[in-house]
Amino acid sequence: MKAAVVRSFAEPLVIEERPVPTPAGHQVLVRMETSGLCHTDIHAAQGDWPIRPNPPFVPGHEGIGIIEAAGDQVGHLAVGDRVAIPWLGEACGHCDHCVSGWETLCPEQLNSGYSVDGSHTEYALAHGTYVVRVPDGIDPLDAAPLTCAGVTTYKAVKLSGARPGTLALVSGIGGLGHLALQYARIFGAETVAVDVTDEKLALARELGADHVIDARVQDVAEEMRRLGGAHVAVSLAVSNESFDAAYASLRRGGTLVLVALPAEGKLELPVFDMVLNGTKVIGSIVGTREDLAEVFRLHGLGRTRVVRETRGLEEINSAIEEVLKGEVPGRLVFDMR
Ligand code: NAD
Ligand code: ZN
Ligand code: ZN
């Protein structure tokens, strides 16, 4: 089988020929159909974050495929089932986070495509308890971006408190942002989309954004003040500047949800302003298996549209360049069928 492998943070990925692995215990062997390229894979391949993965490793955590074999401890899934392999590869299942619906905060967790090999490969091993069934009728090309970009922004918008009557700022209309915008609309908010390319701003309009701001030529905070200030803002652009602008866009009592993770990501908070204005800043990491099931259900009802283009796995290095240049409409998805 072919796998895309990060051998060193300084070099392009290598397509390697590897033996198909055998599942044991709780593992399932998944024949990958599709795998989305998240910006996180690029951070992983470049070793951008304080906790780094250990090369060689296979990135990818938006993996969709069919179970081909299962270990003897897997009772609830069968060969032939279509499943999603998300970022949360495995958690302990018994800590206070795991038992209170916050498995995404489990300190013992393993992450697909980061601490364990992920989905940019023709066959992947995954923990049967942490894969999520993909309902019939959902195109595997749509299911892939929903498995990280979808669930992450669905959770972030949920946590933000967006609801009818609120003004929601979505900063960065990329893989995550184009779905965040749709969830903010589903939750009933009036939406403002911010980006720095004509194509992404056009996409935001097409997806129903009530307002768009071009951060290249407009002052985001000033435009937001004109609109009354954001009740909620979700930061999805890989840029520290955009965090400052999103914070400054909040109205009194507003909430900023941080999601994007640039290398050296920083936001300096003005304490006086924060205290007097009662603003909140929270971090949000992916979503649970239940959140992903909800995301699939919404998509099955036709409430979301996944904007994506396909590439071959062997094009992974040029695909990464396309994402870094901001040239991708929505998501790139590797099609391995
Ligand atoms: P992406 O590259 O597809 O999208 C980023 C978007 O931001 C692009 O549309 C780009 O044009 C836009 N942008 C760049 N500069 C901007 C600016 N100054 N203002 C507004 N927009 C600007 O990336 P993605 O896959 O959507 O991921 C975004 C970030 O989220 C990455 O850092 C990724 O690692 C992180 N992420 C976090 C989680 C989580 O759980 N917290 C999950 C997945 C991804
Ligand atoms: Zn991701
Ligand atoms: Zn746990």
Task: Report the separation in Å between the CA atom of 110 and the middle of ligand 3, taken as the mean of its atom positions.
Answer: 10
Q: Compute and round to an integer the Cα radius of gyration of the chain.
A: 19
Q: Which residue has the tokens 């009194």?
A: 252
Q: Which atom of ligand 1 is nearest to the CA of 194?
A: 20
- Residue 291 burial (10 A CB sphere; 0-12, 13-18, 19+): buried
Query: For ligand 1, what atom is nearest to the CA of residue 259?
Result: 41
Q: What is 113-155 written as a DSSP string?
A: TTTB--SSBSEEEEETTT-EEPPTT--HHHHHHIIIIIHHHHH
129's tokens: 């308890």
Q: Where are the beta strands (DSSP E) in 37-94?
A: 63-70, 82-85, 88-90
CA of 52 to the centre of ligand 3 (A): 21
Q: Which CATH architecture has domain 2-134+307-335?
A: Alpha-Beta Complex (3.90)
Domain ranges of the chain: 2-134+307-335, 150-283
Mutate to test the pocket of ligand 1, among 195, 199, 242 (most ligand atoms within 8 A of CB): 195
Q: pLDDT tens string for the chain (337 positions)? A: 999 999 999 999 999 999 999 999 999 999 999 999 999 999 999 999 999 999 999 999 999 999 999 999 999 999 999 999 999 999 999 999 999 999 999 999 999 999 999 999 999 999 999 999 999 999 999 999 999 999 999 999 999 999 999 999 999 999 999 999 999 999 999 999 999 999 999 999 999 999 999 999 999 999 999 999 999 999 999 999 999 999 999 999 999 999 999 999 999 999 999 999 999 999 999 999 999 999 999 999 999 999 999 999 999 999 999 999 999 999 999 999 9
Residue linked to tokens 């590797």: 334
Residue 51: the pLDDT is 96
Give 309 Cα–ligand 1 centroid separation in angstroms.
17
Cis peptide before 56 (omega within 30 of 0): yes
pLDDT of residue 65: 99
How is residue 161 annotated by DSSP? T
Residue whose structure tokens are 């933000």:
160
Helix (H, G, I), strand (E, B) or coil at 182: helix
Q: Report how far ligand 1's centroid is from the alpha carbon of 99 (Å).
A: 30
User: What number does the ligand 1 atom closest to the CA of 155 have?
Assistant: 40
Q: Which residue owns the Cα nearest ligand 1 atom 1?
A: 174
Report the atom number in ligand 1 closest to the C-alpha of 38. 25
Structure confidence by residue, pLDDT tens digits, 228-268: 999 999 999 999 999 999 999 999 999 999 999 999 999 99
Q: Read off the pTM.
A: 0.98
- Count the Cβ atoms, other than its own, within 10 Å of residue 105: 15
Q: Which tokens is 223 given? A: 């435009």
pLDDT of residue 115: 98
Closest ligand to Cα 216: 1
CA 293, distance to chain mean position in Å, is 15
Distance between CA atoms of 85 and 119, rounded to whole angstroms?
7
* Element (DSSP H or E) covering residue 37: none
The pick from 38, 224, 256, 328 for probing ligand 1's pocket by mutation, whose C-beta has the most ligand atoms within 8 angstroms, reads: 38
What single DSSP character describes residue 293?
A: H
CA-CA distance, 289 to 83, in Å (whole number)?
A: 12
- pLDDT attached to residue 207: 98
Distance from Cα 150 to the centre of ligand 2, integer Å: 9
What is the CA(94)–ligand 3 centre distance, in A?
5
Distance, CA of 206 to CA of 204 (rounded, Å): 5
Say how many CA atoms lie within 13 Å of 125 toward its Cβ.
14
* Alpha-carbon gap, residue 147 to 35, rounded angstroms: 9
Q: Evaluate whether 2-134+307-335 and 150-283 have a shared fold.
A: no
Residue 122 has a pLDDT of 98
Instruction: Report d(CA 1, CA 19) in Å as an integer.
Output: 6
In this prediction, residue 56 carries a pLDDT of 98
Residue linked to tokens 């069968």? 78
Ligand 1 pocket list (CB less than 6 A) = 38-40, 43, 148-149, 152, 171-177, 194-197, 200, 215, 236-239, 241-242, 259-262, 284-286, 323, 326
Query: For residue 87, how far is its CA from the centre of ligand 2 (angstroms)?
Result: 7
Question: Is there a contact between 115 and 53 (Cβ–Cβ < 8 Å)?
Answer: yes
Distance between CA atoms of 166 and 148, rounded to whole angstroms? 25
Indicate the fold that domain 150-283 takes in CATH.
Rossmann fold (3.40.50)
Q: What residue's CA is closest to ligand 1, atom 29?
A: 260
Q: Which residues neighbour 262 within 8 Å (Cβ) at sequence distance 6 or greater?
A: 48, 238, 239, 240
